Amino acid sequence: MTSFPKEKRHLRYYRSMKLVIIRHAESNKMAGLPGEPDAPSPAGHLQIERLTKTCRNESVEAIFHSTQSRAVFTAEALALTLDVPSIAQPGIEERNFGDWDNWEWPQIAAELDKLTTEERYTFVPPNGESWQQMEERLRAALGQINTKQYASLAIVTHWGPIRALLPMIKDEPKESTIDLLVESGQAFIVDYQTKAE
């Protein structure tokens, strides 16, 4: 009969957590409409309705969200309808482009496209943060979220963080999502495997 060592210190225990990773709904500002700039536009409200159904189908137990107001609006609307907690999570905000923050994305992309992938990873825009620095705070935030012990949760964040989070969670190359287009109100459902010694 085969015998196994009694010591457990080399065993690994895995826990799977369902993540619904969401880009916030379209805002009035994004749609070029009057009113509260970061509040959902009419199209944004429709996106929230669809997201509510997705979260309900995935049995979401809590909504974690960026502290930026366009994400807060989406998260609180979802949490209210689903009757689950809405939890502000520092560290999952959009990348800080510093002096470039008021630039349109095509203008930013044109500057970044001049760089190799590795240069782009470490490049810091004037008074901003690098992709690498954003990734580090996202990883720390994900670790904090993991301590809450939810089986299924939603994360309402932004385009840049989603492109960094997906390969991080799936253990794929960081550049695999560099050209990923993430629409407002789009959701990605992933299983996040965490392990402990």
Decide if 19 is inside a domain.
yes
Decide if 39 is inside a domain.
yes
Decide if 102 is inside a domain.
yes
Buried b (16+ CB within 10 A) or exposed e, 122-137: ebebeebbbbeebbeb
**Residue range 33-46: average pLDDT?**
97
Which carries the bigger pLDDT value, residue 1 or residue 161?
Answer: 161
Q: Name which of 40, 94, 90 is nearest 64 in CA terms.
A: 90
Decide if 7 is inside a domain.
no
pLDDT 10s digits, 137-177: 999 999 999 999 899 999 999 999 999 999 999 999 999 99
What domain count does the chain have? 1
Please provide the DSSP assignment of 96-158 as one string: --GGGTTS-HHHHHHHHTTS-HHHHHH---TTS--HHHHHHHHHHHHHHHHTT--SEEEEEE-
Decide if 3 is inside a domain.
no
Decide if pLDDT at 196 tops 80: no
Query: Which residues have CB under 8 Å from 115's CB, separation 6+?
Result: 123
Decide if 82 is inside a domain.
yes
Question: Percentage of residues in the chain with pLDDT exceeding 90?
Answer: 89
pTM, 2 dp? 0.91
**Residue range 112-132: average pLDDT?**
97
Decide if 2 is inside a domain.
no
Decide if 64 is inside a domain.
yes
Going edge to edge, which strands form the sheet with 86-88?
A: 86-88, 63-65, 152-157, 13-23, 187-196
Range of the domain at 102: 13-196
Query: Which residues have CB under 8 Å from 65's CB, separation 6+?
Result: 71, 72, 74, 75, 76, 86, 87, 88, 89, 92, 155, 156, 157
Q: Name which of 159, 166, 141, 156 is nearest 55 in CA terms.
A: 156
Mean pLDDT estimate for the chain = 92
Decide if pLDDT at 7 tops 60: no
Q: What CATH number does residue 88 fall under?
A: 3.40.50.1240
